Structure 1
Amino acid sequence: MNPMSMSPNLALNQIVAERQAAGERIVHLGFGESRLPAFGPLMDRLAAGAVRNAYGPVAGSPGVREAVAGYFGRRRLPTGPDQIVVAPGSKPLLMALDLTVPGDVLLPRPAWNTYAPQARLAGKEPIAVPIPAECGGVPDPALLRDRIRAARAEGYDPRLMILTLPDNPTGTLASAAMIRELCAVAEEENLLIVSDEIYRDVVHDPDADYLSPAEVAPARTVVCTGLSKSLALGGWRIGAARFPEGPWGEAIRAGVASVASEVWSTLPGPMQEVAEYAFGEPEEIRERLRAGARLHGAVAREVHRIVVGAGARCRPPTGAFYVYPDFEPVREELAKHDVTDSASLAGRMLDLGIAVLAGHLLGDEPGALRFKCATSMLYGENAEQQETALAAADPLAVPHVRSVLDRIEEGFQRLL
């Protein structure tokens, strides 16, 4: 039997749910679910798709692949339908890539907690490279070449590099200059780039300078995306991948489709109906995306203000819905509460009624005083409250949002 345990964010989510059901008051900042209601037009499409009960093509129907290709085309990535595979979430696509492409995997440290376990499940070695000071989601370009050469000297074979744009867990977006530098290393070292862009439509500034590595190194970049974060459809499981043109990209896509045929067969027909509509991006979907990005950005920035006020260093969030504070500046004060590493710090936060995901569970240094705060479940206890927060010009002034933010601030003020 494989000795791996449950994914830590899902395990924490289960623990928090059990404790909340037992009557404990816990603010959940440890799980990156976009807690917003399903958009009405999406539900209509789901109902309309219920008649699609046949398996259909493994890679997806022509209509859904055309829609996803158009989605990428509007983002400066000209794409044909034959470059697309859809799946029940982006997780299976990432796993299928690990099973298809040989070689070990270069990851930023810290990184989303699924990348490394998936690599191990595929028999690969995850090779962590620290992130740069400015942002997360990418290995530090200044350290990457040396780490590749050291890994090869140790007998490993790094051939894939995962970038997350914007990033989970830091909530930041790597600059265009940094992406170009990383693509240059990938060219020199013959790496396949896996660009996880599931948060692309949750960049807070609509005018931000977003550069996909597929624009710079199109022949060696696979892009993964999905609808769980941008449109709050995590439970519906809709993901998509774009593969490079040319023989290498075609071979990788064929390998992923082969894995799909043996593991998930195809994206369920009703979800293909939803995906074709959503990736087609009619105006109502574009407005929903804009409203979501505004809300996520406002609340993430407020939590950033709170953690900095509590003594942490923290990169300002620019995308997704995370902040990643570092409490090293107050290590001596935390030691008085027996807090000496990320595990004990997360335990202290839980005692204060705030659930966070400890940094070591994301591949960070165990002794560091860092954790992930996910800010996307703070918009209300029911659909009506969440829609109110989404529609508000100033979400921070909405009473139920302000109330939970005040509870968070009170908890952080009691940390030391």
Structure 2
Amino acid sequence: MSTPAPRPPSPNLALNQLVDERTAAGESLVHLAFGEARLPLLPQLARRLADGAARAAYGPVAGAPGVRRSVAGYFARRGLPTAADRIVVAPGSKPLLMALQLAVPGDVLLPRPAWNTYAPQAQYAGKRVFGVPVPADCGGAPEPAALRATLRRARADGHDPRLLVLTLPDNPTGTLAPPALVRELAALAREEDLLIVSDEIYRDIVHDPVATPFLSPAEAAPERTVVTSGLSKTLGIGGWRIGVARFPDGETGARLRDAVVSVASEVWSTLAGPMQHVAEYAFAEPPEIAERLRAGARLHGAVAREVHRIAVGAGALCRPPAGGFYVYPDFQPLRETLARRGVTDSATLARRLLDESGIVVLAGHLLGDDPRALRFKAATSLLYGDDKQQREALESDDPVRLPHIAARLDRIADAFARLAR
């Protein structure tokens, strides 16, 4: 009996483990390759977790009524009226995204570049993945004309694209697709009968909500949009694994929800009871949670903008970050200089930064980008330091001037400047 060759582990998780090992061995590295929100734990969350420890029974697969009502209220406050029976909670948004791939037939359309988990999940589900270039001004959403062309080619070749994945705000570029683009893609999805999966786990980390309006595809195409989210990025509790999904109203939404619940019943059974207790509290957004969301967005925006400034100052092209905690520089303007030093693609660029300067980034080709491009993702949230330093950063009016953050920013500036020499 032959067995299939195993896929390599997720590259961001593999790099995170590598950094832990090399740091433990005494190396000094600046880690920018893992999308973890390094924020101090809110004490009320810890108390809520302890209070829920006795919730040891399995409970409903989709989640207990209380937590589903709380999540429904969260969406309603964001302009998406939601019935509690259209909510499913899970151990992270990753399982929900995987369940959607297993439950919904058809191939998958992704923006290019995209978070490195979308494509492998689709492939594990036996689907073909079609990457579509993003517009010049933002990531997280494919360029509409390119999407139409990709659909035509795929169908002419006998493929069946049915799922369109959007990320708002985007991982890896740190940008947010504007409302006009979202509406255009929603109209296209209706014309082409596509299901939209809108990953909105960074929704509450828009740096300036007044200057950067947010439109969910669930507002523009409510009958065909599933929204996924969670608490890992906003509250820094990724290890607690709390994810949620919102399904459309109507018969189609009910079928989608039931299909995902069916997958869940065979894979993870239910979100752990203590975590449901936490989620019910957090998604209700009492004042301390609302203030933490605002403080986190301020911190993430300040540090991401500073890394963006450093990258542009070193000669890179880079979209200004608008949400989340990422920047995605492109060192194409330095291609000739870098080529003389053996840097010709995203892999060798990432290797140069690590070997020469101890800067760890996630190379663009690992995100579905053109391997020949000189692009990478930098996760700026990893610069905040340990628990005490994170608290200082959250409370600071100017976190980039705090000594522990400024020192890491100086190392990044020196590393990027070396690329031009």
Question: Fold-level match, TM-score > 0.5?
Answer: yes
For residue 161 of structure 1, the aligned residue among 160, 164, 175 is 164
The Cα offsets for residues 345-380 of structure 1, whole Å up to 9 and x where unpaired, read as: 000010111000000000000100000000001111
For residue 257 of structure 2, the aligned residue among 253, 256, 263 is 253
Identity %: 70
2 CA distance for matches of 1:412 and 1:101?
Answer: 43
Q: Which amino acid counterpart does residue 79 of structure 1 have in structure 2? A: T
Aligned to 1:47: 50
- Shift in Å, 1:3: 3.0
The aligned runs of 1:137-286 (5 Å cut-off) are: 137-207=140-210, 208-286=212-290
For residue 328 of structure 1, the aligned residue among 332, 339, 343 is 332
1 CA distance for matches of 2:401 and 2:105?
Answer: 51
Moved over 4 A (4+): none
- Shift in Å, 1:392: 0.6
Q: Which amino acid counterpart does residue 206 of structure 1 have in structure 2? A: P
For residue 361 of structure 1, the aligned residue among 366, 374, 388 is 366
- Shift in Å, 1:143: 1.0
- Shift in Å, 1:71: 0.2
Aligned to 1:22: 25
2 CA distance for matches of 1:292 and 1:204?
Answer: 9
Aligned to 1:300: 304
Q: Which amino acid counterpart does residue 338 of structure 1 have in structure 2? A: G
The Cα offsets for residues 78-137 of structure 1, whole Å up to 9 and x where unpaired, read as: 001000000000000000000000000000000000000000000001111000001000
2 CA distance for matches of 1:385 and 1:225?
Answer: 27
2 CA distance for matches of 1:337 and 1:297?
Answer: 33
1 CA distance for matches of 2:362 and 2:401?
Answer: 27
Name the CA shift for 1:80/1:362 in 2 (closer, same or farther; >3 Å).
same
- Shift in Å, 1:412: 1.3
Is 2:400 the counterpart of 1:411?
no
Is 2:70 the counterpart of 1:71?
no
2 CA distance for matches of 1:315 and 1:133?
Answer: 8
Aligned to 1:62: 65
SS in 1 for 2:254: helix
For residue 129 of structure 1, the aligned residue among 128, 132, 135 is 132
Q: Which amino acid counterpart does residue 357 of structure 1 have in structure 2? A: L
2 CA distance for matches of 1:156 and 1:229?
Answer: 35
For residue 94 of structure 1, the aligned residue among 72, 97, 106 is 97
SS in 1 for 2:53: helix
The aligned runs of 1:5-20 (5 Å cut-off) are: 5-20=8-23
Alignment RMSD (CA, Å): 0.7
- Shift in Å, 1:249: 0.6
- Shift in Å, 1:396: 1.2
1 CA distance for matches of 2:383 and 2:406?
Answer: 9
2 CA distance for matches of 1:369 and 1:357?
Answer: 12
1 CA distance for matches of 2:46 and 2:66?
Answer: 19
1 CA distance for matches of 2:290 and 2:158?
Answer: 48
1 CA distance for matches of 2:269 and 2:6?
Answer: 27
- Shift in Å, 1:206: 2.7
SS in 2 for 1:142: helix
Aligned to 1:371: 376
The Cα offsets for residues 205-244 of structure 1, whole Å up to 9 and x where unpaired, read as: 0323100000010000000000000111100000000000
SS in 1 for 2:226: strand
Question: Number of matched residues?
Answer: 415
Aligned to 1:107: 110
SS in 2 for 1:292: helix
2 CA distance for matches of 1:108 and 1:143?
Answer: 10
1 CA distance for matches of 2:254 and 2:150?
Answer: 29
Is 2:35 the counterpart of 1:35?
no
- Decide which moves more: 201-210 or 218-227: 201-210
The Cα offsets for residues 155-174 of structure 1, whole Å up to 9 and x where unpaired, read as: 11000000000000000000
2 CA distance for matches of 1:300 and 1:70?
Answer: 30
Aligned to 2:291: 287
Unmatched segments (≥5 aa) in structure 1: none
- Shift in Å, 1:2: 4.8
Aligned to 2:86: 83
